[in-house]
Structure 1
């Protein structure tokens, strides 16, 4: 059977860049909340594809819809990878909604696709360098690893102080922690799970954040490579992490941020 590569947030800048690389490898199934954008993405990618580019409207905060996505994927072939790029940035929603989408949504995706994982399969979750600037803390780390707990949002909201930026950082730290926490479960099936933390990336979402958050310019000024990254540079990292070339990499995060996190940490130590 052909391998199937499922990409959430598949109509976004990173999602489409990733799909361009994977549509030559097998069947691609794009998931996003916007039917119009999905249709445009599929139409753009199909001429480049070696196989089918399927698409499905999915709200990742709806467990039934995520489960239906997994069922649809299983009907297309053997799962090669689940690549989870779907999420909200700080200017897109309030703190509660960011936790729902970035944390609970990720929990639903990983839960739904674990049963499909087999030997050589990979799960790649997009986190953020914001997850590395959010301190690990015994008060909330264990909460973040279990976003499907009934009281998850209520327990996390006090730590956000109702601030979308804080909620975003916490939610992305949560993605990193979930990947670490679930490595054993995925490994028992011969599969791997990893996260990727992009820095300042030139995508529509990235440009929206840069336009509305002055601190993004400050972060760019502290980036050793002196520029924004591209969606294709994230896609290249994801392609590597889904390949046999990374067959001993699991339960960890790869920063693709031009060195921003390392330099910020260095500057903080020097204060």
Structure 2
């Protein structure tokens, strides 16, 4: 079977979707997928994306998701302009090169920044969209977690625990708001071909070995994650809440990212 992009078509006409970290990587792919399915898409990021990559119906709002006032202001703008919020994709996240340390060697400012964006950012955006979803009695929140939430490797002692917390956030919110028409789910991608993963692989000395550890023999594509998100946010998944979907080419079944001491002393 050829490794070709295959986008499943949904009809999200009259739906308003917010995607954080939508300017690149998985977030950009999710923005494109929703736009191709006729949604009104709000791309939230700290960096202005390349306009040539965003379809016309994607609206960009600058926002640092670790800042409460910026999150609140962004959500208010969306509601004032479009009148509703049907889905929030919590995707904004960082895994900088200087985060690859045991916790006793990790710079404190790196820890604070990762918690602020990767954890607090999910909390703040959800906190601000939920009142509108409660009023509508309808909405979906999808947290983009990671395979590192389920299994880990050496020197990633902050990213993995935060991503595990993203899954638990989704489960907690799912329980809290299920009777109000709000579904909350999470997706745990394996290694996906994005700028962040490419930078990570360069920091660790290349990606061939990691690709081969996926039972399918390759890392994933952005559209493969986007397809999963599109289904989970659709009415086809109306009985799915509190669940985490691993989109990882079988890596979870295999059970490990890497031999923890491979190539190290």
Structure 2 length-normalised TM: 0.81
Cα-to-partner distance string for 1:176-198 (whole Å, 9 max, x where unaligned): 11111111223132010001001
**Is residue 120–residue 244 contact of structure 1 (8 Å, CA) maintained in 2?**
no
**Is residue 90–residue 168 contact of structure 1 (8 Å, CA) maintained in 2?**
no
Which residues of structure 2 form unaligned runs of 5+? 1-12, 100-109, 260-265
**Is residue 95–residue 168 contact of structure 1 (8 Å, CA) maintained in 2?**
no
2:171 corresponds to: 180
**Is residue 17–residue 89 contact of structure 2 (8 Å, CA) maintained in 1?**
yes
Q: Identify the match of residue 66 of structure 2 among 61, 70, 81.
A: 61
Segment of structure 1 superposing worse, 235-244 or 120-129? 120-129
CA distance in 2, matches of 1:217, 1:123: 34
Deviation at 1:90, TM superposition (A): 4.5
Number of corresponding residues:
233
**Is residue 91–residue 164 contact of structure 1 (8 Å, CA) maintained in 2?**
no
Q: How does 1:240-259 map to 2 (within 5 A)?
A: 240-259=231-250
Structure 1 length-normalised TM: 0.79
Q: As a proportion of its length, which structure holds more helix?
A: 1
Cα-to-partner distance string for 1:60-94 (whole Å, 9 max, x where unaligned): 11000011111112121321200111011142652
Q: Identify the match of residue 30 of structure 1 among 19, 43, 51.
A: 43
Which residues of structure 1 form unaligned runs of 5+? 135-162
Residue 211 of structure 1 aligns to a residue whose secondary structure is helix
CA RMSD of aligned residues (A): 2.4
Structure 1 moving runs of 4+ over 3 Å: 214-219, 265-268
1:105 corresponds to: 121
**Is residue 90–residue 165 contact of structure 1 (8 Å, CA) maintained in 2?**
no
